[in-house]
Amino acid sequence: MPETEGKRPGSAANPSVTRKKREDSRAGEADGLLYVIAMIDPAARERLTQLRRLAAPFGIPPRDLHGHITLAAYAGEDEGRFIASCKAVLARYGQFSVAYDKIELFASTSAVVAAPRKDGPLDAIQREITERWAADLDQWTRRDVWRPHTTLAYHPTADLGAVAGAMRAEFEPFAARVERVEFSREFENRYEIIDSIKLA
C-alpha cells in the first residue's frame, strides 16, 4: 500500500475499472483493493521519518510515515480465503529482517522511496503469495514488476530529483525488523485495518 499521498493505479487490463476506483477514492471511498503490508519496527520508521523531513524545503510538507512495505494488493472477491492463505505463508517464516540499501526515484509515479533489497524472507513471502494469487493482484504487486519500497515523498510537480539527492546525501544503509503484517484498505486520508498477524 502506498503512503496516503500517493495512489496506485488500478488494473491496466481494465481502464474503466481503474477510473471508477479513482473516482470512488476521491469521494472518500476505499480504492477497491485489500493491501498486505509488512510493518517495519519503530526505530526503522523513525530513521525514515527523519529522511522524509528533508523534503520540506522542496515544498513537500512533513507528514507521519506509515512505515511499511507492500507485499500484495488483492482485487479478488474471496478476501477471507486470501487472508487465510497469506497468514499460512507468513506463519511459516515468523519475524524477519529487511535491508534498506538505497533511495530511489520512481519518476512514473512521482515518488521518492527507500528501497530494501529484494531478497531473503521478504522476497520469498511475496513470491509465495503471488504464485497462488497472481490473477487477483493489481498490476504493481505482480511478481514480474514488484519493487519493494517505503514511500518517503510524493508530489506530482516538485523537483523530486533534488529531493532524492538530499535524501541520498544523508542516507546510510540499515536493517529493519518486520514483526507484524496488516491487511488493510486505503481511503483518501486514512487506513482501515481489516486484519493482522503478529509474527512469531
> Domain with 142 in it: what CATH number?
3.90.1140.10
Is 42 within a domain?
yes
> How many domains would you assign to the chain?
1
Q: What is the dihedral of CA 58, 191, 38, 101, to 10 degrees?
A: 0
Write out the three cell numbers for 90. Answer: 507468513
Is 141 within a domain?
yes
What pLDDT was estimated at residue 26? Answer: 38
For residue 139, give its domain range: 15-198
Is 143 within a domain?
yes
Averaged over 73-85, what is the pLDDT?
97
Q: Tell which wins on pLDDT, 188 or 3.
A: 188
What pLDDT was estimated at residue 2? Answer: 45
Is 5 within a domain?
no
Rounded-to-integer distance, Cα 123 and Cα 117, Å: 9
What pLDDT was estimated at residue 29? Answer: 56
- Give 147-165 pLDDT, tens digit per residue: 999 999 999 999 999 999 9
Q: Tell which wins on pLDDT, 17 or 2.
A: 2
Averaged over 20-42, what is the pLDDT?
69
Averaged over 90-114, what is the pLDDT?
97
**Is residue 5's pLDDT more than 50?**
no
Strands 68-74 and 96-106, by their bridges, are unpaired
Is 158 within a domain?
yes
- Give 65-76 pLDDT, tens digit per residue: 889 999 999 999
Is 1 within a domain?
no
How many residues can be counted in the chain? 200
Is 67 within a domain?
yes
**Is residue 107's pLDDT more than 90?**
yes
Please tell me the pTM assigned to this model. 0.84
Is 167 within a domain?
yes
Least confident of 36-50, 119-133, 164-178, 186-200: 186-200
- Give 18-30 pLDDT, tens digit per residue: 323 333 433 445 5
